[in-house]
Amino acid sequence: MDIIKVEHLCKEFSYYKKETGLQGSLKNLFHREILTKEAVRNVSFAVEKGEIVGLLGPNGAGKTTTLKMLSGILFPTSGNAVIDGFIPWERKNEFKRRFSIVMGQKNQLWWDLPASDSFYLNKCIYDIDDAAYRKTVEELSELLDVRELMNVQVRRLSLGERMKMEILAALIHRPQILFLDELTIGLDIISQQKIRDFLQYYNEQTKTTVILTSHYMRDIEALCRRAVIISHGQLVYDGELSKINHLMGDKKLLTLKGIGEIPAEKLAAFGRVREKKGAETVLEVPKDKLRETASAILSTLHVEDFTVTEVPLEESIALIFKKEVDSL
């Protein structure tokens, strides 16, 4: 059952062209040229209850604008969206209780107060029962490993600790839908992994629906089975992550370690040489010829070891972006 349904969503922003210098400023007093930026163009998709979907795209693709419309922060220029039976930009109180949005570059916690004060403020805003509030805070603070930091001023916390507190604050009222925009931006590898583990566990336990944007493919690969890819405001892919590589040609990477250095011209006969460092070489070969190619390499060349891996997801997604740019 679809809990989020987006149909032909569009968002345009108007702005004035500003010419440089004093002469340009004087000219703008009497005549200003109005320009229009299409941030989101005719985007349609649906999300089932309990699903985690990765919303991907390059900088400026329209990801954050889309999330802001779905959360009711922005009004669309045209199109429609229904979130759990509500139109988000009508901003009904019942709808506000059903979702949360966490943005990696925006703080919702009071900077000079302990996080516990912001949690209590959210409790009062959402009119949460005392017992339910205590249970939620105790459970989530334990899962996020921040119980000992609850009474520390937010500005004294590390970036990773602050993001955990932001997540906790967003979940105080137990929303059914969670929008996460660049949640792990700037975090170290360990903090990223802890947040991914928490989100995966929380989704499994509560069946909360999540739309996640991230430029870190590890976040997407760990949490999402499906990706919605936007480029220049337009939807360019909506489907399973596992099929993206197939869409871009079904390639495999064969990493070889030779007994001594193998000449590049010999290796090129078996596939495209992507990288070569001394005795180690990375070859790109078609997936359907992998067994045949590996057998030929082992029988022809002096190979000490070899491994087979997938083409990195970010490379396939980058090819989708490039393909879309070339078609414009």
The pLDDT assigned to 324 comes to: 53
Q: Is residue 34 part of a domain?
A: no
Neighbours of 26 (CB within 10 A): 10
Angle among Cα 220, 98, 191 to the nearest 5 degrees reads 35
Residues 232 and 92 placed together within one structural domain of the fold: yes
Residues 284 and 175 placed together within one structural domain of the fold: no
* Rounded CA separation 284/203 (Å): 36
Q: Is residue 163 part of a domain?
A: yes
Strands 251-258 and 303-310: antiparallel
Number of folded domains that form the chain: 2
The pLDDT assigned to 27 comes to: 76
Residues 234 and 281 placed together within one structural domain of the fold: no
Residues 212 and 69 placed together within one structural domain of the fold: yes
The pLDDT assigned to 28 comes to: 75
The pLDDT assigned to 208 comes to: 96
Q: Is residue 36 part of a domain?
A: no
Q: Is residue 227 part of a domain?
A: yes
Residues 278 and 199 placed together within one structural domain of the fold: no
The residue out of 223, 245, 267 marking a domain boundary is: 245
Q: Is residue 28 part of a domain?
A: no
- Averaged over successive runs of 10 residues, the pLDDT of the chain (328 residues) comes to 94 83 75 85 95 91 94 95 95 94 88 94 94 95 93 92 94 96 88 93 95 90 92 89 73 81 80 83 83 84 81 74 55
Q: What is the dihedral of CA 142, 213, 318, 222, to 10 degrees?
A: 30
Residues 128 and 234 placed together within one structural domain of the fold: yes
The pLDDT assigned to 325 comes to: 46
Residues 218 and 267 placed together within one structural domain of the fold: no
Residues 214 and 294 placed together within one structural domain of the fold: no
Residues 260 and 236 placed together within one structural domain of the fold: no
Q: Is residue 30 part of a domain?
A: no
The residue out of 191, 224, 245 marking a domain boundary is: 245
Neighbours of 190 (CB within 10 A): 9
Q: Is residue 1 part of a domain?
A: no
3-state SS, 23-60, equals HHHHHHHHCCCEEEEEEEEEEEEEEECCCEEEEECCCC
Q: Is residue 191 part of a domain?
A: yes
Residues 138 and 196 placed together within one structural domain of the fold: yes
Residues 279 and 206 placed together within one structural domain of the fold: no
Domain of 284, CATH number, reads 3.30.70.260
Burial zone of 65 (CB within 10 Å; 0-12 exposed, 13-18 middle, 19+ buried): buried
The pLDDT assigned to 328 comes to: 44
Residues 211 and 267 placed together within one structural domain of the fold: no
The pLDDT assigned to 249 comes to: 64
Residues 306 and 297 sit within 8 Å (Cβ to Cβ): yes
Domain encompassing residue 146: 51-78+85-245
Residues 42 and 79 sit within 8 Å (Cβ to Cβ): yes
The pLDDT assigned to 256 comes to: 83
Answer whether 0.75 is exceeded by the pTM. yes
Domain of 120, CATH number, reads 3.40.50.300
